Amino acid sequence: MGVDLPGTTTSPGRRERNKQRVRERLYSSAMTLFAERGYDQTSVGEIAEHADVARGTFFNYFQRKEDLISAWGERRRAALEESLALAPPTAESDTRSQLDHCMATLGRINESEGGLVIPMLTAWVKAGHPLVEEPYVARTFAKIIERGQAKGEIDAAVDASRIGFMLRDIYLGTLFRWSQTAEDDPAFSLGDDLRASLAVLLTGITTGPHSALPRQDA
């Protein structure tokens, strides 16, 4: 009783593992080809052939090629969450160091992907994902700001959500600039540039009283 007989179907656990292996093979093949040829220049058939499966098998795992962009984003999100979880905030860690770690992690994630970032970032933008995706990076930053407010390290009057989006804007803007110049300027470190921009935001750029308002008669 409970023993599988020859010829019976495999257990659900084994089936699921096999499905996961095929999905992973398709995803890895797609990322390899995207890095080599570009997203638009790679067809579903070529991805399936590289993964050594039938073209129809692709659609058992991804309804369309664009779903690979979402999968790419989800893996980057998981990588960020995993890195932050490995260095959770403590009573001793201040807000600046937590934000700095988050920026450094975002830089490392992108730099580790090498030639894949440019074609995938281009495809991400062309598919309209920045307009419709959940802004998880902004929320990640906002949570750090909220913890800083609770500890009295960040002005309680500031809108944590607004600061979260400002930091996300810095991240995306720097990422786009890095993707355009990384090949011509190998010394351009995305992580270092993100951290430098963060320092400017936290320190401010004005030399006069912070309460001073800009003149309206210019």
Tell me the pLDDT tens digit for each residue of 81-138: 999 998 877 767 899 999 999 999 999 999 999 889 999 999 999 999 988 888 999 9
Chain segment 127-163, per-residue pLDDT in tens: 999 888 889 999 999 999 999 999 999 999 999 999 9
- Report how far residue 209's alpha carbon sits from residue 217's, in angstroms, rounded to the nearest whole number: 19
Considering the domain architecture, whether residues 88 and 193 belong to the same structural domain is answered as: yes
Number of domains forming the structure of the chain: 2
Does the pLDDT of residue 26 top 50, yes or no?
yes
Q: What are the distances in angstroms from CA 174 to CA 110, 130, 133, 178?
A: 11, 15, 19, 6
Residue 159 lies in a domain: yes
What's the pLDDT at 12? 61
Q: What is the DSSP letter of 81?
A: H
Residue 105 lies in a domain: yes
Considering the domain architecture, whether residues 90 and 198 belong to the same structural domain is answered as: yes
Considering the domain architecture, whether residues 90 and 169 belong to the same structural domain is answered as: yes
Domain that holds residue 89: 67-203
CATH number for 191 = 1.10.357.10
Considering the domain architecture, whether residues 89 and 142 belong to the same structural domain is answered as: yes
What are the residues whose beta carbons fall under 8 Å from the beta carbon of 29, sequence distance 6 or more? 47, 48, 50, 51
Considering the domain architecture, whether residues 73 and 42 belong to the same structural domain is answered as: no
Please, are residues 137 and 163 in contact by the beta-carbon 8 Å criterion? Answer: no
Provide the whole-model pTM.
0.83
What's the pLDDT at 11? 53
